[in-house]
Amino acid sequence: MTRILSPHCRVTRLSGGALIADWRRTRFLGMTTADVQTLADGNADERAELVTGLVRAGCAPARRKGYSDGEIGIWLRGVHLLIRTLGFGRVLRLLPLAAPGYARADVPSAQDVATLKQAVQSHSRGSWFVNDDCKAEAVTAFVLLRRRGFEATLHVGVREHPFALHAWTSAAGLCVPAADPRGHVFTPVLSIGCGNQ
């Protein structure tokens, strides 16, 4: 629950649920045990309803609307530099920190994912630094979608003849970048998503 609350709010567990102290407004909000259990284990619709109530009460920040084109370019170059410096495997291990599984995960619209895909790929192709790197594109799309609270899955796939590796992020039925570039089919060997972390 602490992941979705504003920094000025603190949670105290009680025998009958939880007490949220909003120190900015000096007020308190109580939650029943059933609400706490729903927030921890409920389905996405039930959690979204509770989080919407917390947002209205001022205890949780509203979901970010979107990223500007410039922010996407900065994220892409930063992710590429991190992969080049630390290695792809270590970056995958850092994903839970950069892209946590928020309680209000839901499916993004196809329009949101298509817009993000177009922006990520145009920055990737237009940059001599990134140079159309599938790993950087996939990780950037995964992080940006997850930080907005959307469900996304990062896949790493392999093809045998000729041997090649490929990474892509899938959300709302779309893949960033394409799951089968140039018609080559890649078999997923690793998938990181909301249930995997």
Judge contact between 64 and 12, C-beta under 8 A.
Answer: no
Judge contact between 93 and 57, C-beta under 8 A.
Answer: no
pLDDT tens profile 73-104: 899 999 999 999 999 999 999 988 888 765 55
Handedness of CA 42, 44, 46, 50 (dihedral sign): positive
Q: Which residue has the higher pLDDT, 150 or 118?
A: 118
What pTM value is reported for the model? 0.69
**What's the mean pLDDT in 136-157?**
91
pLDDT tens profile 26-54: 888 888 888 888 877 777 778 778 888 88
Judge contact between 28 and 21, C-beta under 8 A.
Answer: yes
* Average pLDDT value for the chain: 84
Tell me: pLDDT of 105 over 70. Answer: no
- Distance (Å, whole) CA 52 – CA 171: 22
Q: How confident is the model at residue 174 (pLDDT cuts 50, 70, 90)?
A: very high
**What's the mean pLDDT in 56-60?**
80
Query: Count H helices, E strands: the chain?
Result: 6, 7
Q: What's the pLDDT score for residue 52?
A: 81
- Distance (Å, whole) CA 105 – CA 101: 7
**What's the mean pLDDT in 174-191?**
90
Judge contact between 46 and 29, C-beta under 8 A.
Answer: no
pLDDT tens profile 114-134: 999 999 988 888 777 777 789
Q: What's the pLDDT score for residue 196?
A: 47
Phi, psi dihedrals of residue 97, rounded to the nearest 5°:
-80, -40
Tell me: pLDDT of 194 over 70. Answer: no
